[in-house]
Chains A and B, each alone.
Chain A
Amino acid sequence: MSPIENVSRRRFLTGGIIAAGAVVLGVHYYPKLSSGHRLPHDTNADHATLHPDVYLGIDPDGTVWIVASRSEMGTTSRTTLPLVVADELDADWKRVKIEQALGDSRYGDQNTDGSHSIRSFYDAMREAGATARFMLIQAAAHQWGVPATECETDLHVVVHRSTDRRAGYGELATAAAKLPVPKREELKLKPKSAWRYVGKGQVSYDLEALVSGKAIYGMDARMDGMVYASVEHPPVLGGKVKSYDDKEALKVGGVRQTVPMEPFQQAPGFQPLGGIAVIADNTWAAFQGRKKLNVSWNNGPNETYNSDAYKNELRETSHKPCKVVRNIGDADAVFAKDGKVYEADYYVPLLAHASMEPMVALAEFKDGKATVWAPTQNPQAVQDIVAKELGIAKEDVICHVTLLGGGFGRKSKPDYVAEAAVLSKKMGRPVKVVWTREDDIKFDYYNAVASMYMKAALGTDGKATAWLQRSVFPPIPSIFDVNAVYGDPAHLQQGWTDIPYDLPNLRIENGPAKAHVRIGWLRSVANIYHAFAIQCFTDELAHAAGRDPVDYLLELIGNPRTIDFRGVEYPNYGASMEAYPWETGRLRRVTQMVAEKSGWGKRKHGKGTGVGIAAHRSFLTYVATVVEVEVNDQGEVRIPRVDTVLDAGLVVNPEATRAQFEGAAVFGTSVVRTGEITATKGVINQSNFHDFPVARIGEAPYETKIYIVDSDAPPAGVGEPGVPPFVAAFCNAIFSATGKRVRDLPIAKLGFS
């Protein structure tokens, strides 16, 4: 057994890291302790009397400190993970204080992306709580001279029932801190019947702050002596400043100076884009100064990029044989025979994240160290890129994580944080970089534009006897390697190589596409275009076969079984196939349930109304959605109702989960209605919410009903899995209502509004 100790205390004793000494106004995340030395990475949990684990500390007044190491962008993970600790500890939630971790590898992975916060940290949170609970029980047993096995916990107290003795966690903390930290094998986790919070859930710890304007986002970070910066980026990816004239910019009141920034080297990665920064006394002056800059650019090779031509290229590629990524039987042999063969092309354009809070970061470089405050999903990547850009050690980058005004994957890429750090070093004072909405839309890491070619042969009974699908899209690895043109397994797995249909002949291919803009993760990522193609093509085949779409979908999914991925590179979202097998029975169940809950085939639909269904597994969660639409003679589309059934295994926080799936329907609405980013000569055409519209209140579904399957399977994702089936079901509903097929998104281009 090891004595109570932790990384940061050890570091303190050896004097490894010295406090940066920054005085911060407005960033009050980390209340200072009244006594003792404090390192910049320390948490209150680290300094608590009982501190058996990096995530947890208990003070003699009974306060339980729980560290949230994942970023909060609206999914409530900052609340839900601590809730797991509190449950296993038997702690009173009212006495829990959550503190946000800095970027620090001692917390393991902190990239809040890929819908895996609960899945990957559920066990660690339980162990943290169970460890402290074990020690508190031991301390009480010692004190009372009774066997620990006779003691148990109730809400925030240890109890010895036969002698009717009770001791609060606070009063036991000091004694417990003197005991050895138990090994994992000694821990006894609570049975499900004793769970207090898991499965019942809790509203956000920050709810009061969120409705009162007191919540601190990256945009709200302030610091004494800071200046503001706005950066004019090269309009074409990879472009460079040829020359610039800042005379007029410097005349703007409040503008201090301009600073040229280096373009990125080789592949963009998370490096700053380069350009000219305008430094000013306030945000507005920086924006105004930028407008007066006169910059001429060397655009570089991406100047040839035009979205219309690129779409045709993708489509042409998809009509030719490509790289085979999965094969069963011989689809071509079936296509060559007589019989009915159906083909269709599907297309989804580039999509922008457009989180409500544009990119923003505050940085101070001082005494060879950098301290940043950023709304980031990925604080350790912040440390990496800032260290690289400034030529300092990763340990000398302190990344404070504020609340995020939305993320959706964009804020996993810390180029904007690196900008602030670089500028702070150049200016010798704290710099806050603020992106405009136009910067956000024009310099995003877009969800890939994708073209999908689908082909199927139907037998006399209408069932598919052979199936071919080809996707072509510029892959995400292209941001790190400009020569990457094929889809990588991590994104081909997203609803493509794992098509869950029971088909005797199946071939799945992927074709090459060169990226001309930065491609990145966006909520649900490749699942959006893959599920769109497969689930809409399925609906087309159902109608071609004269079958009910739900029956047809269930028939394609086939009998409950575990999909065999031998011979296929299938990462399963980083989870083991043993713990998270691909079970078609679970997809069947959510499909059957959503048909029942939505009244499929039972409710009457008048002229111009229709329903569509789609089912999809992503991020290890099984989801089926029915969307109901009304379309009038002018092509105006309303969505009166959405029904979604999900099986995400154990759901820790049902309330937050419902909110995520309600939100996913709205996010998907934006994708279908108006989501489109295009480029002309390498320059992005859209700039703000007038030309990249997202769903407003009257355009969003009027009512989204969420049903959660009660499951004992291990926890899976909830942030992203709602989007892909919604997108396809919405398009299928439009066909049902109008007879018009949606194969190209967005529908705004097809005359719908």
Chain B
Amino acid sequence: MIQVKVNGVEQSFDGDPGMPLLWYLRDVLGLTGSKFGCGVGLCGACTVHVNGQATRSCVTAMRDAAGKEVTTIEGLENNGLHPVQKAWKQINVPQCGYCQVGQIMQAVALLNSKKRPTDHEIDEAMSGNICRCGTYQRVRAAIKAAAGEMT
């Protein structure tokens, strides 16, 4: 039996310990905010926080999530929107929106570790998150807008 805390709630899982966290979140818990994009950690659509670190949930086995705290977009902010989500709205980042949850979770982790990231630091941190619609220049602008708000 695997114990894992998801968005502050203790959960137990007695299925395949090799099942990726992503499918546990989506198919078992019904938390569909985190997205399936590639299944091998190449696109970032599945990004969640595990013990505060941005993590690709599609390649994180349940056995490796055991005993840890997982935060998904559903648990990012209890009251309304997180400042990064507000910035995403203000800059009107999303097009189809499918990758944006992963982009936001990655951006939150970046801003938690770096208050005022440079362009280079933003590109480094966000390089694992693909947006096929091509919203990158707005992603960068939104991170800068959020950085201004969060300090």
Contacts and interface: CB of A to CB of B under 8 A. Distances in A.
A356 interface: yes
Interface string A71-110: 0111110000000000000000000000000000000000
B136 A284 contact: no
Contacts of A660: 95
B41 to A, nearest CB: 10
Contacts of B136: 666, 695-697, 700
Contacts of B89: 203, 207-208, 211
Contact of A211 (B20, B23, B81, B96): B81
Nearest to B97: A210
A437 B38 contact: yes
**Could you say which interface size class chain A belongs to?**
35 or more
A676 interface: no
A700 B137 CA distance: 8
Interface in B63-98: 72-74, 81, 85, 88-89, 92-98
A219 B134 contact: no
Contacts of B137: 662, 700-704
A665 interface: yes
Contacts of B23: 282-284
A437 B104 contact: no
Contact of B135 (A206, A659, A702): A659
A452 to B, nearest CB: 26
Contact of B139 (A74, A254, A697): A697
Contacts, number: 185
A284 B20 contact: yes
Given A211-B85, A354-B132, A663-B133, A436 B96 contact: no
Contacts of B28: 282
B122 interface: yes
A1 to B, nearest CB: 43
B117 interface: no
Contact of A436 (B39, B85, B94): B39
A664 interface: yes
A405 B35 contact: yes
A208 B97 CA distance: 11
Given A219-B32, A222-B30, A253-B16, A211 B100 contact: yes
A351 interface: no
Nearest to B95: A74
A649 interface: no
Contacts of A420: none
B134 A356 contact: no
A716 B133 CA distance: 20
A357 B37 contact: yes
B149 interface: no
B97 A212 contact: no
A690 B43 CA distance: 10
Interface in A370-405: 403-405
B131 A356 contact: yes
A356 B96 contact: yes
A26 interface: yes
A128 interface: no
B133 to A, nearest CB: 5
Contacts of B74: 213
B96 A73 contact: yes
A700 B95 CA distance: 16
Interface string A692-715: 001111101111100000000000
Interface in A648-693: 655, 659-660, 662-667, 669, 688-690
A667 B134 contact: yes
Contacts of A438: 39
Given A403-B97, A697-B123, A664 B134 contact: yes
A302 interface: no
B95 A663 contact: yes
Contacts of B130: 356, 689, 694, 696
B136 to A, nearest CB: 4
Interface string B1-28: 0000000000000011001100100111
Residue from B30, B81, B135 whose CB has the most chain A CB atoms within 10 Å: B135
B147 interface: no
A625 to B, nearest CB: 14
Contacts of A120: none
Nearest to B85: A211
Contacts of A404: 96
B92 A203 contact: yes
Contacts of B150: none
Residue from B23, B92, B128 whose CB has the most chain A CB atoms within 10 Å: B92
A446 interface: no
B85 to A, nearest CB: 5
B96 A689 contact: no
Nearest to A207: B89
A406 B132 CA distance: 8
A161 B95 CA distance: 43
Contact of A689 (B15, B20, B42, B101): B42
Contacts of B37: 356-358, 437
A212 B73 contact: yes
Given A254-B15, A662-B137, A695-B134, A210 B35 contact: no
A68 interface: no
Contacts of B35: 217, 219, 356-357, 405
Given A203-B92, A219-B35, A663-B95, A688 B42 contact: yes
Contact of B33 (A213, A659, A667): A213
Contacts of A284: 16, 19-20, 23, 27
Residue from A694, A700, A704 whose CB has the most chain B CB atoms within 10 Å: A700
Given A219-B32, A436-B39, A437-B39, A74 B97 contact: yes
B97 A215 contact: yes
A204 interface: yes
Residue from A213, A662, A669 whose CB has the most chain B CB atoms within 10 Å: A213
A264 B7 CA distance: 46
B55 interface: no
B49 interface: no
A408 interface: yes
B16 A254 contact: yes
B72 A356 contact: no
B79 to A, nearest CB: 12
B81 A700 contact: no
A669 B134 CA distance: 10
Interface of B: 15-16, 19-20, 23, 26-28, 30, 32-40, 42-43, 45, 72-74, 81, 85, 88-89, 92-101, 104, 119, 122-124, 126-140
17 contacts: A25-B30, A74-B97, A75-B95, A203-B92, A210-B94, A283-B36, A356-B43, A356-B132, A357-B37, A406-B98, A663-B133, A667-B132, A690-B42, A694-B132, A697-B129, A697-B136, A702-B119
Question: Top 8 closest A-B pairs, CB basis?
Answer: A213-B33, A666-B134, A405-B98, A74-B96, A74-B95, A213-B73, A210-B97, A663-B134
Given A213-B73, A354-B132, A696-B127, 5 more contacts: A282-B27, A355-B96, A659-B92, A667-B132, A695-B134
